[in-house]
Amino acid sequence: MVRAEWAIFEEDYWAINNVLEDLLKSSRSGFVMLIDRTGQLISQCGPDVEFDLTSFASLCAADFEANYQLAKLIGEKDFSTLFHQGAQDSMYLGKIAKGVVLVVLFNKSTTLGLVRLRVKRAMEELDNIIETLYEKLEYRNEEYDEIDEAFTLGVEAEIDSLFAD
pLDDT per residue, tens digit, the chain (165 aa), is 344 456 778 888 899 999 999 999 999 999 999 998 888 899 999 998 889 899 999 999 999 889 888 998 999 988 888 899 999 999 999 999 878 999 999 999 999 999 999 999 999 999 999 888 888 776 444 444 445 666 677 777 777 777 776
Domain containing 96: what range? 13-156
Number of domains in the chain: 1
- Residue 162 within a domain: no
Say if 74 falls within a structural domain: yes
Closest CA to 32 of 123, 99, 113, 98: 123
Residues whose CB falls within 8 Å of the CB of residue 79, separated by 6 or more in sequence, listed in order? 67, 68, 70, 71
Q: Return the CATH number at 106.
A: 3.30.450.30
User: What does DSSP assign to residue 48?
Assistant: P
In a domain, 3, yes or no: no
